Amino acid sequence: MTEAALQFSDEHLLGRVASVDTSRVAIDVTNSVLLTHIGIGQLIAIRGATEREYLIAMTERVTRSLRDDFPEQEGEGEAEVLLAPVPTDLLQGVLIGTFRTIEGGKPNTFKRGADSFPQIDRDCYVIEGVNLQRFMGILGAGFSEDERLKLGVFVADRSAEAVASGDKFFQRHAAILGSTGSGKSWAVALILERAAKLEFPNIIVFDMHGEYAPLADETAGGFAKRFRIAGPGDLENPSSDVLFLPYWLLNRDEMLSMILDRSDQNAPNQASRFTLHVRNLKSRTLDDESKEDVKKTFTVDSPIPYDMKKLVELLTVDNTTKNTGKNGPVKGDWEDKLTRFISRLEAKLGDRRYGFMFAPPDEASKYGWLGSLVLRLLQAGDGAGIKIIDFSEVPADVLPVVTGTLARLLYDVQFWMDGKMRTPVTLLCDEAHLYLPVRDDADAVQKQALGSFERIAKEGRKYGFSLLVVSQRPSDVSRTILSQCNNFLALRLTNETDQGVIKRLMPDSLAGLTSVLPLLDTGEALLLGDAVLLPTRIKLDIPKITPDSATRDFWREWGSVPPNAAAIVAAVENLRGQSRGA
């Protein structure tokens, strides 16, 4: 017969249940010695309806108050008994789950949620020592070997591995949140390292600062493929790792959000002519490619190549063509109504920062190019499962356009794929606050990008497409996206507003856990959500290949390393050329 994991004696007895509400229990503490070393987050076992069942609670408040009472008498024959201060110790805990010594044929099981409520005067025990080790071991043992995602160890018992369900962690969206320097980048690198050990992982990392480049360094044991969004210096001779996102990948609304001024009185006319000409140009491409089946059902939003120069020519003709009246030429229907629109479009075409979009190589204008691009980003296996896309040279005002277009493209491909043929894909959005802002703070361009990510957050799970959001400012990230995340790895957060975001996303019964967020050490985190049976504090493992987080030793370097004059001059030229290779 299997030995019960939780075995208590009188020395573990903390007290008895004093009161119960829907999710919390108050315990009248009778063992003051045990109380002195109980901390917030300590696990308590409350005897259930049967001898085989314990309700598990997590401590969230410990109080001691003094009241006047008759002290216990140690001897007889006292002439006078006086009132004296007597301590009353109370502990409040939140109910989190049920442990059973045996359930059906399975021994030592733990499940989230309480099937029943504690009864008044039931014995309560502290889970510590050997009992804690056994209990923590149970939490990860419930996951099958091919589902286990090992993240570190439990702070409460460092001999027990902190294991999450890899399936539930990715399929229901997740967020890694923490202040700068708290260990977010290491947490990301650790998760990617674990995923890379699988045979066909499929994770695309949006790297905003180029800090995950070491993960693609084969000489150091790297396991990822790295790409870069084309910068101004990549337009003439792009290398094989450079990505272009041609303008024809943008849908109608994304394109107009960059070019159209909604306050212009001619904005409806401009949008109308743009839409008509783009659709006709795409139709002409389909004719040239003999794609009759596609032509029957395509829309203006379909990603089909067209010639931007011809579009400008057609708009210019509209803007200058006159009508014929009874007495000769009269002002045309569109004459002078498209002037500003054409000027804004030409300004974008001449801006080298937008070269990745408006100045792609000739092959990117071919019909078959899109298939090869998507294959590079969605293929898995043979060391190509983890893809890192470096956005570090993309200007901030262009960033939402790039990330939004790429995310929508990948999601749309997954959406239209045969359901039986889909391979799950995760987008890892590093520094998400830069391009996934709160909707009320977003401009027209940002709202278009935000719409793509919010659609993925709300619908992606059905199509095997998920998000892993990483940010140091959760209060600046879209509420819609964070509210769809069911798993959180919350590292140190010192800002009260950011802590409040985490608190609002958690069930009311667990909101008290957020009080430890500003006290977490570097590399420590609260692991919460569907991927774990018990919300708990863990110490993350150190990844074998650490990201280049660029944390500098200010004091030491100020004392020993002089500024490099040549590097400063070179940086000025890079600034002018908008490229690190200038």
Residue 111 pairs with which residues in a beta bridge? 98
Do 445 and 501 fall within a single domain? yes
Q: How far is CA 140 from the centre of its chain?
A: 23
Measure the CA–CA gap between 270 and 260, rounded to whole angstroms: 8
Angle between helices 399-416 and 369-378 (to 10 degrees): 90
In a domain, 399, yes or no: yes
Alpha carbon distance 378, 204 (integer Å): 8
CA distance 58 to 138: 17
Q: Which residue carries 């009320």 as its tokens?
A: 440
120 and 176 inside one domain: no
Does residue 38 sit in the same domain as residue 107? yes
Q: Residue 138's closest CA among 116, 114, 115, 112?
A: 112
H-helix or E-strand containing 162?
A: strand 161-165
* Helix locations, 321-396, DSSP H: 339-350, 355-358, 369-378
Taking a C-beta distance cutoff of 8 angstroms, is the pair 167, 75 a contact? no
Distance CA 396, CA 522 (A): 29
For 69, how many CA atoms within 13 A lie in the half-sphere containing its CB?
A: 9
DSSP of 94-126? EEEEEEEEEETTEEEEEEES-SSPPPTT-EEEE
The alpha carbon torsion through 450, 456, 458, 464 (nearest 10 deg) reads -170
pLDDT of residue 42: 85
The count of residues in the chain is 582
> Does the residue 566 lie in any domain?
yes
User: In a 10 Å sphere around its CB, with 0-12 CB exposed, 13-18 middle and 19+ buried, how is residue 197 labelled?
Assistant: exposed
Side-chain half-sphere of 215: how many Cα atoms within 13 Å?
Answer: 34
Q: How far is CA 567 from the centre of its chain?
A: 35
Quote the pLDDT of residue 106: 83
Closest to 532 in 3D by CA, of 98, 5, 141: 141
- pLDDT tens column, 543-557: 999 888 767 788 888
Tens-place pLDDT, residues 80-104: 667 777 778 899 988 888 998 887 7
The verdict on residue 454 lying in a domain is yes
Closest to 273 in 3D by CA, of 258, 290, 287, 256: 256
Dist CA 499 CA 182 (whole Å): 14
* In a shared domain, residues 389 and 517: yes
Whether 379 and 285 share a structural domain: no
pLDDT digits (tens, 9 = 90+) for 427-436: 999 999 988 9
Closest C-alpha among 53, 20, 13, 22 to residue 120? 20
The string of DSSP codes covering 470-524 is EES-GGGB-HHHHHT--EEEE-----HHHHHHHHHHS-GGGGGGGGGGGGPPTTE
Q: Does residue 393 belong to any structural domain of this protein? A: yes
Decide: helix, strand or coil at residue 466: strand
At residue 291, the pLDDT reads: 92
Q: Which residues pair with 467 in a beta bridge?
A: 427
Q: Are 369 and 245 in contact (CB under 8 A)?
A: no
pTM score above 0.95: no
- Cβ-proximal residues to 412 (8 Å cutoff; 6+ apart), any chain: none
Please report, for residues 112, 315, 397, 431, 454, the alpha-carbon distance to residue 391 in angstroms, rounded to integers and kept in the order given.
41, 33, 12, 11, 21
Which of 184, 212, 129, 190 lies closest to 524 in space, CA to CA? 184
- Among 310, 305, 395, CA closest to 352: 395
Q: Which two tokens stand for residue 424?
A: 């799950």
What is d(CA 63, CA 310) in angstroms, rounded to the nearest whole number?
76
Dihedral-angle region of residue 399 (phi above 0 means left; psi in -120 to 50 means alpha; beta otherwise)? alpha
* Domain stop point among 92, 113, 142: 142
**pLDDT at site 352:** 85
Q: 112, 142, 172 — which closes off a domain?
A: 142
Alpha-carbon distance of 456 to 412, in angstroms, equals 10
Give the closest residue to 402 by CA, choosing from 292, 243, 296: 243
Total number of domains in the chain = 3
Same domain assignment for residues 312 and 429 = no
Assess whether 138 and 168 both reside in one domain: no
Are 400 and 435 in contact by the 8 Å Cβ rule? The answer is yes
Per-residue pLDDT tens over the stretch 264-278: 888 898 999 999 999
In-domain check, residue 3: no
Distance of alpha carbon 490 from alpha carbon 485, whole angstroms: 12
CATH code, domain with 118:
2.40.30
| Angle in degrees, 0-180, between the axes of helices 444-459 and 252-259, rounded to the nearest 10 | 150
Eight-class DSSP state of 437: B
Q: Which residues pair with 154 in a beta bridge?
A: 538
Whether 244 and 450 have beta carbons less than 8 Å apart is answered as: no
- Considering the domain architecture, whether residues 316 and 186 belong to the same structural domain is answered as no
The whole-chain average pLDDT of the chain stands at 87
**Does residue 391 contact residue 402 with C-beta atoms inside 8 Å?**
yes
User: Residue 72: what pLDDT?
Assistant: 64
Alpha-carbon span 14 to 90, nearest angstrom: 10
Tokens 């000489």 identify what position?
Answer: 219
Distance CA 511, CA 29 (A): 24
- Positions of the chain with pLDDT lower than 50, given as ranges: 582
Same domain, 408 and 337: no
Task: Please tell me the distance from the alpha carbon of residue 71 to that of residue 293, in angstroms, as a whole number.
Answer: 93
State how far the Cα of 472 lies from the Cα of 498, in Å rounded to an integer: 9
How many angstroms separate the CA atoms of 360 and 354, rounded?
Answer: 10
**pLDDT at position 227, please?**
93
Is residue 149 a part of any domain in this protein?
no
150, part of any domain: no
325 with 378, same domain: the answer is: no
> Do residue 134 and residue 170 come from a single domain?
no
Q: What is the CATH number of the domain that holds 478?
A: 3.40.50.300
The answer to whether residue 78 sits within a structural domain is no
In this structure, how many other beta carbons lie within 10 angstroms of the beta carbon of residue 495? 15
Edge-to-edge strands, sheet with 224-229: 161-165, 148-154, 536-540, 524-529, 487-490, 174-177, 465-471, 425-429, 203-207, 386-390, 224-229, 242-243
- 222 and 190 assigned to the same domain: yes
Q: Give the range of the structural domain holding residue 288, as residue numbers without chain letter.
A: 253-341
